[in-house]
Structure formats: C-alpha cells, structure tokens
Structure 1
C-alpha cells in the first residue's frame, strides 16, 4: 500500500502544487538562503533530498542550500500536515531576472493531498483549503521572524500571480488567495475570503 509520504509513488507528485510562494525581494543568494533555511525549519521538513525517484532511505541527504536548489532544481522532503498525516513536499526557486524579484515556493503536491484524504475543494470553483491556508500562513509567519521578505501568497499554484509592488502596501479587500504582507517589521495575514 502506498503512502502520501512515498517519494517513488509518482501520483504523490501529480496534479499541481498547493503552496506558500514567497517573493524574496532580491536576487541575492544570501537573502534566498536565509529565507530557505528559515522556511525549512519553520515547516519542520523531514530530510532534504535532491531526487524524488528514490525513497529518503535510498539516497543521501543534500544540504538545504541555494546551491542544492541550483544543482537539483527542487529540494524534496516530508512534512506533517496539521491533520497529522506525513506527506511529500518540495521547494523550488523561481528566478525573476533583471526586472523582477526571485520567488521561493514551498509546496505540497495535490496528489499527496489526495492520498492523505485532505479536503481542499470545498465546492468552490478553484482549489482551496482553509486548513492548509492557516498552516502555510503560520509557516510563513515563523519564516518572516528569521528572514524578512516582500510578500507571501498562499493557494494553488500562486507563485507570481501578483507581487508586492502591485499591492502598494495594502491587502486586497477581496482575496481569492491568502496574502502575507509586511508593513514595516510587522507581517499581516489576509486570508482568502471569496
């Protein structure tokens, strides 16, 4: 029987990602590393691996670094959901280039959420899970305490859907996704409300 924590079960990695996407605010690897380290710790990720085609016990761990992200493309581990279920998870950096910020995305694949039997649809015309939103907001809040960032967005494949400059320092009144928006040294959470 397969588990939502199995790396080799490729269905765990399918159907897109439910994520906390963090706009780091620069392309500086030192800043990205600070956010990555803080995020991995805040989420209490078990292990850090470069491959998802082998189980954790079948491969050597890799350092949780920007260098490993560059080498492998994604970092993979296992994380315990608020329901107590252990699932696969990952992280990827999306480079913005000269005209925009870099993003660091922490994700749980929808395939693993399906196997964990976590309800995330709720009859809405888009993916949403209040349980996951609150959990990812708590991870983002804890990350911000150690490594500040420009913006966090929470939901189904949300990376790059907006940026801090587009928000102009204010949370949208109507929100299809969750927002973690710094105002000075204080991080404000605006939960999805549609």
Structure 2
C-alpha cells in the first residue's frame, strides 16, 4: 500500500489539489503572515518544509513564514484527515499586486487522498468530498477566529474562482463549491449544494 504521507512518492502530489483558498483582504505581508500562521496551526500541520521531493527526515525544516513561501514557492507538511490518515499537504501564496488581494491556498493533493482511501469518483468530472469540505470549513473558521479574512472557498482547485468584492458579502444560493463568507464579525459557511 502506498503511504499517502510520503513526500518522495510523486503520485501523492498528482491529479490536482483539494483546497481551502483564503482571500486575505490585502497585499500586506503582515496580514498574509497572520493568515499563514493561523492556518498552519488550525489544520495542525506537522512540519514545515521547503521541498516536496525529499522526506521530512531528509531536509531541514523551514520557518512557516512569508519569506519561506517566497523562497520556496510552496510550503509542505503532513496533516491528519478526519479519517485518521496522515497525508501530504502544502500551501502556496498568490500575490495580488497593488490592485487586488493576496490569496493563500492550503491544499491536499488528490493523489494523497486516493492513497488514503477517499473515493472521489461519483460521476462528477471533478473531485468533491463532503467530509473534506466540512473539515476545511472548520479549519477556515478557526483561522477566521484568530485573524479575519475577506473570503474562503473550498473545493477542487478553487483559488481565484470568485472574490469577496464579487460576492459583496452574499452567499450564492446555488453552490458548486463551499464558501466561507464573512458577514460582520461572523463567518457564514455555505456548503456545496449542486
């Protein structure tokens, strides 16, 4: 059986990513750092590494910082799913520049989910898992308690599919993905319903 927590097994990193993508709400490094720190803690990620092609015991850990994200492009670790399986995971920042917001994407690759036994082919042309959605929504809610953000979206490769300004605080009625929409000091979760 393939170990879904093995960094060196390239099939763990294959087939795309199931994400909690967080629109930070600014392009300020301090805000991005606050969300990154809160996210790593909320998901209880084990380790923080710059390389996804070396096992954790084959590399030195790196700081869970915006500087490390900038240097390595992605940060990698291992996370325990609600099923009890430990899997590889990662994080990447998409910087917005002067006129938009930064995004921070926390992801678990579909290859690792498949190796952990999460069946994801149910006739849809993309991965969807209610268990993953609810777990990532819980992670997002914990992040929001520590450091509010503009928007969270959950699903298969969802980063940038919408924005806080587009939604204007309103949760869509028909949802192909999960949404974490701030409404004042509260965070409203709208699960995928199509």
Q: So what's the TM-score if we normalise by structure 1?
A: 0.98
Q: Mapping of 1:165-176 within 5 angstroms?
A: 165-176=165-176
CA deviation vs aligned residue, 1:56-106 (integer Å, no higher than 9, x gap):
011110000000000000000000011000000000000112222110000
> For the Cα contact (< 8 Å) 1:74–1:91, is it kept in 2?
yes
Equivalence for 1:60: 60
Q: Mapping of 1:20-39 within 5 angstroms?
A: 20-39=20-39
Report SS of the residue matched to 2:90: strand
Q: Distance in 2 between matches of 1:96 and 1:190?
A: 25
Equivalence for 2:74: 74
Equivalence for 1:11: 11
Q: Distance in 1 between matches of 2:44 and 2:168?
A: 32
Cα deviation, residue 53, structure 1: 1.2
Report SS of the residue matched to 2:78: strand
> For the Cα contact (< 8 Å) 1:20–1:105, is it kept in 2?
yes
Q: Mapping of 1:45-194 within 5 angstroms?
A: 45-194=45-194
Q: Over the residues paired in the alignment, what is the CA RMSD in angstroms?
A: 0.9
Q: Distance in 1 between matches of 2:120 and 2:132?
A: 8
Report SS of the residue matched to 1:117: coil
Q: Distance in 2 between matches of 1:121 and 1:183?
A: 34
Q: Distance in 2 between matches of 1:174 and 1:153?
A: 14
Cα deviation, residue 124, structure 1: 2.5
Cα deviation, residue 126, structure 1: 2.6
Cα deviation, residue 169, structure 1: 1.1
Gaps of 5+ in 1: none
Q: So what's the TM-score if we normalise by structure 2?
A: 0.98
Report SS of the residue matched to 2:52: coil
Count, aligned residues: 194
Report SS of the residue matched to 1:98: coil
